[in-house]
Chains A and B, each alone.
Chain A
Amino acid sequence: MIRIENLEKSYGDVKALNGINLHVQAGELFAYLGPNGAGKTTTIRILNGLTRKGNGSASLNGFDIERQSCDARRQCGFVPQHLNLDSELTVAENLDIHGRLFDMSAADRRRKTDELLEYVELADRKDALAKQLSGGLKRRLMIARALMHEPRILFLDEPTVGLDAGIRRRIWSLIKKVQQDGTTIFLTTHYIEEAEFLAGRVAFLDQGRVVAIDSPAAFIDQQGQWAVDVMAENGLQTTYFKDNDEAKAYADTLPNEFSLRRVNLEDAFLALTGKKVKP
């Protein structure tokens, strides 16, 4: 569904992407995890035609993003990191303009607008101006807009950045629902728990390279299920254990204050790159 081969991109002397290789299957919810500046947004912008690529190639549902750019763009919906709604237009007008851009007929636009506003629970705000919506509602409207032309792939670039925990959970439920309805989802995030909760597979990205791809469970399993953090002279030290009893037994031997917790993707990322996703 999404195929990326040796993709590169430079901004002057800075190499933002350094030979990315990825293959995302139809129906997958794939997360692209990495710290700020790792190249997540650059990849997603190239795939959506917003940034010119360097060397390498990429295709969406079999359409090359450069040679068959219009067909490739028809395959995907894109929800960028920043809000980019037309604030002076109503909720329905935002969807209608998007539908026209994707050459939908008037009847299809009307049908899909009503359907999607029900789907994202915004039907009662149909005639409200986009600027009157709260941050969470704007995010939901952006997802609805990206789904308007029934794309095969939905790209979500940090879809819950800046939202509080409750609203974030509602957006996650919506993303899960979209995937269950058959859309392939490519998600970039630097929220560990977001990738763990949503993704079937995760790619770790660091300095423009994919350093590992696997399921969240496999990454965590490689590391061990439990972690004990202890503040040592040279900083925080973490030891990993396969089971809870083993971890507790080790913790009881420690003279200092410790914390016993479950292993997460951050630990796996740290082990592979020596860095944290969230610095």
Chain B
Amino acid sequence: MNGLIAVYLRELLILKRKLIRQLLGMAVGPLLYLVAFGYAMGSGMVIEGRPYLEFLIPGLIAMNGMNQAFGIATEINVARFYWFIFEEFQSSPIANAAYVAGEVLAGMTRALIGVLVVICLCLPFGLSLQFNLWFWLAVLCNSFVFAALGVTMAMLVKSHADQSLVTSFVITPMAFLGGTFFPLEKLPLWAQKVLYFLPLTHASNAIRSSAFGLTPQPVNFAVMLAVGALFFWIALNSVNKARD
């Protein structure tokens, strides 16, 4: 347990030292999307009987949660390839599970802060969204999925450049196609079927339903938990691969 706390605490201390920069970084993307898509392009637009802005914000919450949780991969890679701090963990007697769990928790913490940043950005506009228990459960599941994916990728990549490729080919497409900016029903049926397998699609659905005061579909949680558990398992089995 002490090993898990050590890994988690180290990430929290680093986050604390860079908090202002991190908060600003977490706010820039969602703020631009709010201005560009929410106000400029989407004003007056109604989707599923609600103003587009109300549709967009749960999507932005899911997307920012994903980005911040996956961002733990960058922190790990910096520690691994530039500062060589990963060697401290490798040469200590902690279990791989403690290391992975500590980093996943750190990723989830980043995601929760990222979600709070989006909520703060939206609060002044008096939107009628609900932040109930289902909402927070969905946010947690979403952050678990992408923190576990982030740790997996950080263990598997061989350089910082590889990490950028994963972001370009996996995270960015998912951010736009995972039900964040538009309802998937607008796409052809075959595309809907493909995109249904993206974990962010289920996160967006669950977060949006909860925020609208509806009960989310159990399948959304089931998919997120299953995918998160799969990534966690892969991360666990990849830690040894990070050795020479």
Interface set of A (CB-CB < 8 Å, partner B): 11, 45, 48-52, 69-71, 73-74, 76, 78, 80, 82-89, 93, 97-98, 100-104
Partner of A84, one of B85, B92, B95, B244: B85
Within the complex, the shortest CB–CB distance from B194 to chain A, in Å, comes to 39
Residues of A within 8 A of B95 (CB): 70
Q: Which residue of B lies closest to A145 (CB)?
A: B88
Instruction: Give the residue name and chain of the B residue nearest to A149 (CB).
Output: B92
| B87 adjacent to A101 (CB under 8 Å) | no
7 A-B pairs with the lowest CB-CB distances in the bound complex, closest first? A100-B6, A84-B84, A101-B92, A70-B93, A51-B244, A73-B93, A48-B91
Residues of B within 8 A of A74 (CB): 93
A103 near B2: Cβ-Cβ < 8 Å: yes
CB distance from A133 to the nearest CB of B (A): 14
Known contacts A80-B84, A84-B84, A100-B5: does B94 contact A50 (CB below 8 Å)? no
Q: Complex: how many Å from CA A98 to CA B93?
A: 11
Interchain CB contact under 8 A, A73 and B92: yes
Chosen A-B contacts, 28 in total, with CB atoms closer than 8 Å, are A11-B244, A49-B91, A50-B87, A50-B91, A50-B243, A51-B243, A52-B240, A52-B243, A73-B91, A73-B92, A78-B87, A80-B84, A83-B84, A84-B83, A84-B85, A86-B14, A86-B85, A88-B13, A89-B13, A89-B14, A97-B10, A98-B88, A100-B2, A101-B2, A101-B3, A101-B92, A102-B92, A103-B2
Minimum CB–CB distance from B195 to chain A (whole Å) comes to 39
Partner of B83, one of A76, A78, A87: A87
Q: Which of B5, B87, B244 contacts A52 (CB 8 A)?
A: B244
- The one of A69, A88, A103 in contact with B14, judged by C-beta atoms closer than 8 angstroms, is A88
Contact with A along B77-102 (1 / 0, CB 8 A): 00000011101111111110000000
CB of A82 within 8 A of CB of B93, answer no
CB-contact partner of A78 in B6, B14, B91, under 8 A: B91
Q: Which chain A residues border B14 with CB–CB below 8 Å?
A: 86, 88-89
B186 within 8 Å of A (CB atoms): no
Query: 13 more A-B contacts (CB under 8 A) besides A11-B244, A88-B17, A89-B10?
Result: A50-B243, A51-B243, A74-B93, A76-B91, A84-B84, A85-B85, A87-B83, A98-B92, A100-B2, A101-B88, A101-B93, A103-B2, A103-B93
In the bound complex, CA of A118 to CA of B212 (Å): 60
* Identity of the chain B residue whose Cβ is nearest the Cβ of A98 in the assembled complex: B88
Bound state CA distance, A104 and B196, in angstroms?
A: 47
